[in-house]
Amino acid sequence: MDLHYFDSITGEYIATTKAEIDPLESSIAGKPVYMKVPHTTFDSPIEVQTGFACVREGGKWTAKEDHRASVIYSVTDKSEKKISDFGPIPTGYTKNVPGEFDKWVDGEWVCDQTAALLNEQQISCYELDILAGEARARFISPGEGTLEEYNRAYQVAKEFKDANYEGEIPSAIADNMRYKSLSAQESTDDILAEALGMNQVLDTIRSLRLDGKLAINNAKVGDNIEAIKQPFIDALEAIKPQ
């Protein structure tokens, strides 16, 4: 005789063992009497298909849907939760894992191509901003106020040149004279030439950054964003001091 155990709380079938004969009761009854403990039955459990559990309920075995420990997702907001009880998947939930830009449409997750495109555009534009900043940094020494220092030197040099290189030599020009062993006029022209070259580089970087972002933001669903931005990335990375 088989004895079948089931969970005291859920009623789920656990295991089967051979039932032991009760000597005293058997002697009294004059026939074998098998010992039975709580939460067991002599009724054989039913066979259930995958995804179901064999459960003792109301004095009989029944098959119940079993999704316990499964993660399900809300078709409304994609929030997730874990199932802990028997039964079908609750209405409004699915086991299918949603993608980042998926929406629930006609019983399945469908990618929102517009949202996916917008996200890729934002990421790609940020990437161009970073690359443009790195390109500028290759020409401007790091440190707070460095660019302002260059601008002041340019303004002083321009004013000195406009004055026909006459009068008291400004400190910015004098410092450059000592550093490069130049005359006052040569130092002035050197500062102006360097500033012109710097401005041209910065203008080029700015143009590449803005033109690249414009091209990216003009992309349509289905366009290859990587291919669109790559020429601008290559151009920014190629800008280096000679």
Query: What averages of pLDDT result for each successive group of 10 residues across the chain (242 residues)?
Result: 95 95 88 91 96 96 95 97 95 96 96 96 97 90 68 88 93 90 92 87 95 98 97 96 82
Residues 43 and 157 in one domain: no
Distances (CA, A) of 132 to 49, 204, 216: 61, 10, 15
pLDDT of residue 142: 66
Does residue 104 fall inside a structural domain? no
Q: Give me the helices (H) in the chain, please.
A: 23-29, 113-137, 146-162, 171-180, 184-217, 225-238
Does residue 78 fall inside a structural domain? yes
Residues 121 and 7 in one domain: no
Does residue 188 fall inside a structural domain? yes
Residue 77 belongs to domain spanning:
71-99
Our count of domains for the chain comes to 3
CA distance 119 to 95: 26
CA distance 195 to 134: 19
Residues 134 and 177 in one domain: yes
Does residue 106 fall inside a structural domain? no
pLDDT of residue 65: 96
Residues 46 and 153 in one domain: no
pLDDT of residue 10: 94
Residues 91 and 149 in one domain: no
Residues 132 and 221 in one domain: yes
pLDDT of residue 145: 58
Residues 56 and 148 in one domain: no
CA distance 47 to 54: 7
CA distance 75 to 83: 16
Residues 57 and 87 in one domain: no
Residues 35 and 80 in one domain: no
Does residue 190 fall inside a structural domain? yes
Residues 57 and 129 in one domain: no
Does residue 105 fall inside a structural domain? no
Other CB atoms within a 10 A radius of the CB of residue 69 amount to: 8
pLDDT of residue 12: 97
pLDDT of residue 224: 97
Does residue 179 fall inside a structural domain? yes
Residues 130 and 189 in one domain: yes
Closest CA to 131 of 212, 66, 65, 54: 212
pLDDT of residue 226: 97
Residues 19 and 76 in one domain: no
Does residue 25 fall inside a structural domain? yes
